[in-house]
Amino acid sequence: MAHFYNVGVAGINLDSGLGIREAIFMKYSSAEKKGGNIIIPHRHGELHVPDKYFAGADVMLQVYLPFDVETDAITALSELARLFSSQTEVAVTQDDPYRGSIRAMVENLQDPIPTEDRFTYMFSLRNASGFWEDQAVTNISSGSPPAVVTGGDRPIHDMILTFSGPGFLQHTDDLGQVARVEIDAAAGAGTYVVDVGLGTCKKGGANQDEFVSITQPWIMKWQPDDTPSLTANVGVAASFRNKWA
């Protein structure tokens, strides 16, 4: 029996909400890394650029329309298309047998694409972030440093770091690159929330940029399925969603 992916679009379960009993997201589509290697004159081959970043990804959603009554198929297809009609990205969810319950923000780029089978349609979606991520947040309790263990198979770059006070959290990756987030003591006691993805640091909702310094342009970035090498001099809690291809 085929795996039930329990696909949802914009909070609507395709099965229970639209009667589309079978739907599947293609696991790998066009995800690629940005940039390339470097061509050096008078050298064979290329110079490898390590630590490349992923581009946005195309996501293909294949749906099998209900056909008990012919009108059901058109209705389900149209309602599904309407769910994707948004001014911004739409959240999609699925229960993947390997990745678990994951989600992604996608944008529908065009009308549904018919296939040879009159009841099977494809939706060409664009995932700007390039990644799926856990529906559930992984919370690492405060530690100095926090005991972070990552999952997934794509880097985590948008963690939320909660500092219990001024101090630093430092990460050294496998290339020896040191990424350090430090909150100056002059900021004063309090809880500081660093949103690495947005590049903000707030205390009580107020920006604390004056007191924050970083050492790498990515601020902080953890590899998947890894125990990052962290040091800290203050208690830091971390919350993140594992990333997936």
Partner 1 sequence: MAIWYEAWTLPWDAAGFKRKFFYLPTVEGSGRGTISFLTTQGEGIVDVPLDHLTAAGRDLTEIVSDTTASLIRVFDSLPDGTVTIIDEWVCERPARRHEDGRVATISGPPLKTKAFDGSIVRPFDYPANPTLTPDHIWGGDNVLSDPGFETPAVKNEQYELVRDGATGGNFTVTVDGQTTPSMAWNIGPVGLENNIEALSTVTDVLVTATSDGWTVEFHNPSEPGSFDWTPAFTGGGGDEEIKTTVEGLIEPSGTWTTSQHADASVNPHIHGTYATDGFRLTDPDSGFEPVHSGTYAARINGLSQFAGIQQIVQVEPGMTYQLSIWFWSSDASEEFRLVARDIYDNLITEDSFTNVTNATPSTWTEVTLELVVPEGIDTIIFRFAQTVDHNPDPFYVDDAAMNEGQPPTTWGDIVDILMGTRVDLFFWIDWAGVDVTNDSGSVVWPGEETVTVQFGETFGQLWDLGVDLGYEWNLIPKDTPVGGWDPLDETHELVWYVKAGMDADPSTAINPGPSVTGGESFNRIPAYTRVYVEGSEGVYVEDEDATALANFGPMEKYEFNTHLNSEATSQARAAELLSYESANRNAVRFELIATLGNPRPGVHFKPGDTIPMQLPPGLQKVEKRVQDFSYVNTYPAQYIVTGSRVLEGEAAAYNLLWRIWRRLNKPQKPRRSGGILPGGGGGMAHILIVSTSEPSNIQKKGDYVVPHTNSGASLQAIFDTVNDKWTIWMAGDFELDQNVTAPAGCRIRGLGYPAPVET
Q: Which residues of this protein are in contact with partner 1, per CB under 8 A?
A: 34-35, 38-42, 47, 49-53, 170, 175-180, 184-186, 195, 198-201, 207, 209-219
Q: What's the Cα-to-Cα distance from 106 to each of 30, 123, 127, 199, 241, rounded to whole Å?
A: 14, 11, 4, 22, 17
- Our CB check for partner 1 shows the closer of 49 and 113 to be 49
- Our CB check for partner 1 shows the closer of 154 and 221 to be 221
The Cα 153–Cα 131 span in angstroms is 10
- Our CB check for partner 1 shows the closer of 39 and 189 to be 39
Phi, psi (deg, nearest 5) at residue 201: -140, 125
| CB 44, min distance to partner 1, A | 13
| CB 41, min distance to partner 1, A | 7
Query: Do β-strands 113-114 and 138-143 pair in parallel, antiparallel, or remain unpaired?
Result: unpaired
| CB 186, min distance to partner 1, A | 4
Query: From the CA atom positions of the chain, what is the Rg in Å?
Result: 22
| CB 5, min distance to partner 1, A | 29
- Our CB check for partner 1 shows the closer of 134 and 158 to be 158
The Cα 57–Cα 33 span in angstroms is 10
